[in-house]
A and B are shown apart, each in its own frame.
Chain A
Amino acid sequence: MNKHLSKIALVSMFALFLANCGVNNVVIEGRFPTPNIRKMPVYVAVLYDQTLRDFSYLEYTETGSEEFNIQSGASHVELFNSITPAMFEQVIFVDTLEEAQIAGVDAIFAPAIEEFQLALPAKTKLDVYEVWIKYNMRLLTAQGDSIADWVLTSYGKTPTETFQTVEGAINDAAVVALRDLASSFSLSFSDVPEVRDWLDQQ
């Protein structure tokens, strides 16, 4: 009986090894400075849904097997946590719309990732790793009605280097893309026509 159990355990472990050996996990980590911009005189609640918090992207090989699992949810949360207090006079981070309503905010900001793309030098034949991310930025009233809904894209690249791992290069390219998002979001926020109209009313 014991022999049979250890056989099963061994086969399970081998199967687990085979299932995991193909995917390289990359957890995006980086530093995001606070923007040097003028604050807008509004009270905003920031709401991250679970999809954004857990966001990960799977890159496949040309033969269709999983190659990289890029987890960037936590770094997106960290980035928005860093930029929103520099953009708005008062900011609160909430888990539900109700929380925002109770707080009496002027608006709720709810970002979402729509698309994530990765370009590897082995496939593009360029000497750079590239990351491209498409976002859907949503600004809602405290009651949950839409004020503005716009698309923002960000791009980051990093050159291939002799002593850098592929995982490290992907991380660097993603961090550049996140910084690109932070810069374009913070500088273009008040240029979105619906946002501009809403700001004028405040």
Chain B
Amino acid sequence: MNPNLIFKEGRFKILLLMALSFVVSCTSTTVDEFRQGETGISGDETVVVLGRRQASDYETRSEFIECVGDKMARGDNALNIIPEQEFIDAMFPWFEPRTAPLRTQDLAKLMSEDVVADKMGEFGIRYIVWVDGFTETSGRTGSISCTVGPGGAGCFGFGTWEDDSNFDARIWDVGSFTNVGTINTDASGQSYLPALVIPIPLIARVEANACSRLADQLKGFVNGS
């Protein structure tokens, strides 16, 4: 057989797989915004994005919070974002899972403490964004088996699962101690793992899409657009 033809066939298969992965691993994302007050931010003011960690059976992952913060700090209308851990450590012990304010009235009470108000002032915090949610994996089906023999190794089978991310972001105005809005992001997608000699992961980037869409929406919301 012509080696060029084999090479071309191989390249064709890779392209086909890439196209297939693009088609099958897509994610659908829905963003809902509920505005309760006017927003806007000046150049010297900052925003902090914090994860809620009060629930007993899950907690908002710090990696997701970092992703949202990073995306809000880049691109058009970028905001000054204080990293979550830096803020929590600096405010210690007032923003730990058990002591963090759950309502805006709690924040007002907290700000009556001089040490808290001074630290908030140092950071220049205008908005606190509380993000609460998680990604759930369900519907795992299929199986893949791999074998190693004297002639080589290989896998055969098929696996699939669904990821569903749901995150709520509540935006608190530190100036007026009010909740100025809520943004909900729901993303879902089906991932596939076919294995024909080698496993080919076709992963739906559900949480990454949820992060990206939530960050864009938050950026627009805080800027008042």
Contact = CB atoms under 8 A, between A and B. Distances in A.
A157 interface: yes
B93 A183 contact: yes
Interface in B84-102: 89-94, 96-99
Interface string B138-158: 000000000000000000000
Contacts, number: 54
Nearest to B59: A159
Interface residues of B, number: 19
Interface string A174-202: 00100110111011000000000000000
A25 interface: no
Contact of B92 (A36, A126, A127, A184): A36
B116 interface: yes
B57 interface: yes
Given A126-B57, A128-B57, A159-B61, A36 B91 contact: yes
A38 B99 contact: no
Interface string A24-67: 00000001011111100000000000000000000000000000
B58 A34 contact: no
B99 A184 contact: yes
B64 to A, nearest CB: 11
Nearest to A185: B93
B59 A157 contact: yes
B11 interface: no
Contacts of B116: 36
Nearest to A183: B93
Interface in B16-65: 57-59, 61
Contact of B57 (A38, A127, A155, A183): A127
Contacts of B92: 33-36, 179, 182-183
A111 to B, nearest CB: 16
Interface of B: 57-59, 61, 89-94, 96-99, 114-116, 119, 134
Given A35-B93, A180-B97, A183-B92, 14 more contacts: A33-B90, A34-B92, A36-B115, A38-B114, A38-B115, A128-B57, A128-B58, A128-B59, A176-B97, A180-B96, A180-B98, A183-B94, A183-B96, A187-B99
